[in-house]
Amino acid sequence: MDIATNPEMADAAPTPHEPPVIRREDYTPFAWALPETRLAFDLGVEKTRVTSSLSVEPNPAAEPSPVLRLNGDGITAAQVTVDGAEISDWTMDGPDLLVPLSAGAHVVGIVTEIDPSANSQLMGLYASGGMLCTQCEAEGFRRITFFPDRPDVLSTYTVTMTGPKSLFPVLLSNGNQTGEGQNEDGTHWAEWHDPWPKPSYLFALVAGDLVANTDSFTTMSGREVDLAIYVRDGDLPRTDHAMRSLIKSMEWDEQVFGREYDLDVFNIVAVSDFNMGAMENKGLNVFNTKYVLADADTATDGDFDGVEGVIAHEYFHNWSGNRITCQDWFQLSLKEGFTVLRDQMFSQDMQGEAVKRIEDVRILRGVQFPEDSGPLAHPIRPDSFREISNFYTATIYNKGAEVIRMMRTMCGPEAFRKGTDLYFDRHDGEAATCEDFITAMEDGAGLDLTQFRLWYSQAGTPKVTVTMNYTDGEASLTVHQSVPATPGQAIKKPMPIPLKIALFDPATGTHRGEELLLCNQAEQRFTFDGFAQKPVLSVNRGFSAPVTIAREIEDHELVFLAANDDDAFARYEAMQDLVVRHLTAASSGGLSDEARDAARDAIGTAFGAIITDSALDDSMRGELMMLPSITYLAEQQEVADPSAIHQQREDLKAWLGVRFATELAALHDRVSQLEFSLEKASRGARKVKTQALVYLASGDPESGSKVAARQYDAADNMTDRQGALMVLAGLGTAARTDKLIDFHRRYADNELVVDKWFALQASSLHPKAIEHVKALAEHKDFTLRNPNRVRSLYMAFAANPHAFHAEDGEGYRLIADLIIALDPINPQTAARFVSPLGRWRRIEPKRAALMREQLERIAAVKTLSRDTFEQVSRSLGD
């Protein structure tokens, strides 16, 4: 392989299963620049003809090459021309097309023919319910035409589409529309031009019978931008929230980051068959319908938040990802981590900072922390990969966001804005690196981030131990940090960890101010004077660093913080710590009855204060009432027994439901009086209503079932209806069957709500959840060809620890069977189901052996895709 023209370096002789190893250190610029790309599509569902015209010239920043290497995947060239003349001396190197070129500028033409209807991978150009759409990130464009399909090759695109108007009345691509017309044969055409150079992964095309919700936005410089959200006929009434979210995103990005939109139009298209949540293609965002369609009857409050957050995320990519893209895929967190932080900040401003921060941390702990401690752990800027689609992970996105948030914490909001302004100014129109972003932050914000760069290169979640000593009015904190070994990284260096703390006076319930400690050594000591008695430590306030904290603190001090801490996250964390320390001890079998009762009394004291505190808003109350997940609890143990954790968690939930039955019933009655709206008070009431119902049903299933059935029947919104059905799905009462049948009948024509119906049953606490999943897999509405439907059933099941970890291993077999069946259809989606099995090292020995057995069974499949093989082999590796 010509390393001067292609950075995708390969180890010698990979097996069919094993893609070549691509290494960050081997990057070289592409030998040819492509200032202009022209594409012509003759569209058809079963046959689309693609004619590309590539203007190429030697890249002065690269070593010259006499060969133009163009990536392909599953396509063949029907014709190749150079400067208008057909050539025959082109060759193939595996899937890639090699075109010999003399020095100087040329125009290379290529014709390919593809079948969108056969594209079950949903990468490249594919058919979805009669419409055509594309998904090109990370390497889907090479499934459309031969091209240097890498993020550092930037080109302007002019796209012409021709097709039957009866099938494709709407023809969309990137940029601004520059022409359209009718043909005598019943076809029509449209031309689009994107003036901003972009990599091929941002290319987009949509053709179909669609209707649009339209609006406009006036930018801060006075330009009028036409906005449109395209959906299938019938879905239009459910797009208003998405349009409001888009306009709010555009306003917010101007106000907070100074970023103005740069085209005449901004289009969104909702697609029901989509591997991801959404895609930020320049000027033409393609979305999973899940993140566009919402109204009160079909979408929960969480769905509304999801639409708002994902709309914002993809719009913000216009600058952090599109105007500045990635030099190579090792820099993926450059765009994704930064953009996740931006969408989190936006949602905090829209919904309230305290609750949104807790929600983000819960996701990080539930998904990224387990990833960081397992066989798939990797730095946010990895050194190598085999299949890039496997690196679209919570580490890249969520941990990447936390790392940039730490920079903001260390320098403050104003200096952070100076750093980001400098980054945008320096690298606009470039393919940049994480190092470029860090350097801009150093220069703009006045930080020295030399040691901080370790956050980009070291995998693993730091473990921080905080010990307090108090003597004669002086409180001293000793902070020790360590980063556990991860695959390929046995020894780690200390990293800068910004810890926000406060020391509370237990007599007054107040503190003298929050302080920021920068912990950058393996062990450090900090002293504080002037305390009449030992203070109570509130640490990692606001979750200022993505670390795990071990602190020596008494239960009564955690009860104090749960009731008095003025930092919302720290208050939440105190309640979580109370529960975590009890459940981890109880599930390990080393807890006496006396110790159990004492722990429950402490938890009950804090819980009672939460549900009766009239000064607490319901949104926060709902968060404080939630018990830690089984996944998070398992992470607190070196080797976990999921069944024991589940049993102890359910016992505690039932105990709280019995002890506070009167108060919970009163709380449920109070919040049931509020009328539906999307305002904070009403949303908070619905959150509390569901939490109260969960505890009531745990304490008294028969009575709770009746309350849940009444809530279901009276519901005028999906949040209340789904909350009631979620509780009923886990019970063995007659109301369960009755309401599940009613729910499906009521929403049978709505794909997204039917997804909820599948997921509620797969994630339920019902003892026969496995049998239910098997039956649902045979349901007429289930299909392996729609990623949303697959995830709704099987990902919900894999995230249901009590069922997935069934003692006989049936849950593991079910997921392994799915992976084997799904891999030939959609390997990218199949590969994402491997990680639950890959946690086998952290599970008790009997189950661990059963999990490993299923991984080995998957690995033995001779035709396994590269995506899935990589995940399985890494999960099995020592």
* Spatial contact of 435 and 457, defined as CB atoms under 8 Å apart: no
CA dist 231 and 293 (Å) reads 9
The three-class DSSP label of residue 163 is strand
Which H or E run includes 724?
helix 718-729
The three-class DSSP label of residue 707 is helix
Considering only CA atoms, which of 249, 272, 314 is closest in space to residue 131? 272
The three-class DSSP label of residue 463 is strand
Phi, psi of 321 (to 5 degrees): 150, -40
Q: Which residues contact 88 (CB under 8 A, 6 or more apart)?
A: none
Point out the catalytic residue in the list 280, 308, 314, 402: 314
3-state secondary structure 602-618: HHHHHHHHHHHCCCCCH
Quick one: DSSP state of residue 434?
H
The three-class DSSP label of residue 132 is strand
Q: Could you give the angle at which helices 240-257 and 301-316 cross, rounded to 10 degrees?
A: 50
Q: Which residues contact 833 (CB under 8 A, 6 or more apart)?
A: 794, 795, 798, 815, 818, 819, 822
CA dist 792 and 760 (Å) reads 8
Phi, psi of 38 (to 5 degrees): -120, 130
Query: Would you state the structure tokens that stand for residue 722, as one six-digit string?
Result: 């789904």
CA dist 705 and 26 (Å) reads 61
Query: Would you state the structure tokens that stand for residue 422, as one six-digit string?
Result: 């400098």
CA dist 44 and 50 (Å) reads 11
Quick one: DSSP state of residue 374?
S
Query: Is-catalytic flag, 552?
Result: no
Query: Would you state the structure tokens that stand for residue 460, as one six-digit string?
Result: 């693993």
CA dist 427 and 445 (Å) reads 17
Quick one: DSSP state of residue 116?
G
Task: Give catalytic residue positions.
Answer: 314
